[in-house]
Amino acid sequence: MKTWTVIELIEWTTKFFESSGILSARLDAELLLSHVLKKDRLQLYLGFDMPVFHPNLSAFRTLIKKRSNRVPISYLTNSREFMSLSFYVDERVLIPRPETEILVETVLGLQKTPCHILEIGTGSGAIAVSLAVNQPTWKIIATDISKAAVD
């Protein structure tokens, strides 16, 4: 059986994702391998000749299959960055979008004094938590109809 290195896996996966029509093929390959190996992307490149063995190889293959079926990266890694904070996400919540950061930045820019905010349908909590981190004197309540979303 072939021993795969980090760079070989990234290159092969990039080609596979490209052939599957995934636009961010290289980035997705790097993010998934980083997740499996528990290393950041820079560490991958510093150790590009490092061999990858089972069970990491098996876990990576599973994620490749799911991504090729259009499962979002954030659901595969259970993580999404929003306003420089990391949030847990899975299929029970919507993935925070970059456009929503504009909403948070606008609120932070317009509202300078302490206030009360109620977020209904909080999902991952990205909006409420980001506001609270940036304005700790604000009173923020976040709620969701889905108990699974807030667990």
Pairing status of strand 116-120 against strand 139-143:
parallel
Position 150 pLDDT exceeds 90: no
- Count of structural domains within the chain: 2
| Helical packing angle, 56-68 and 25-37, nearest 10° | 150
Residue 73 CA to residue 66 CA, distance in Å, equals: 9
pLDDT at 145: 93
More confident residue, 1 or 31: 31
User: Of 27, 45, 77, which residue sits at a domain end?
Assistant: 77
pLDDT score, position 142: 96
Domain that holds residue 64: 4-77
Asked if pLDDT for residue 139 goes beyond 80, the answer is yes
What pTM did the predictor assign? 0.89
Q: Are residues 62 and 16 in the same domain?
A: yes
pLDDT value of position 34: 98
23-39: pLDDT as tens digits: 999 999 999 999 999 99
Token pair recorded at residue 96: 């925070």
Structure tokens at 5: 């290195």
Q: Give the pLDDT confidence of 44-99 residue by residue, as tens digits.
A: 999 999 999 999 999 999 999 999 999 999 999 999 999 999 999 999 999 999 99
Averaged over 8-13, what is the pLDDT?
98
9, 71: one domain: yes
| Geometric angle at alpha carbon 83, from 104 and 146, rounded to 5° | 70
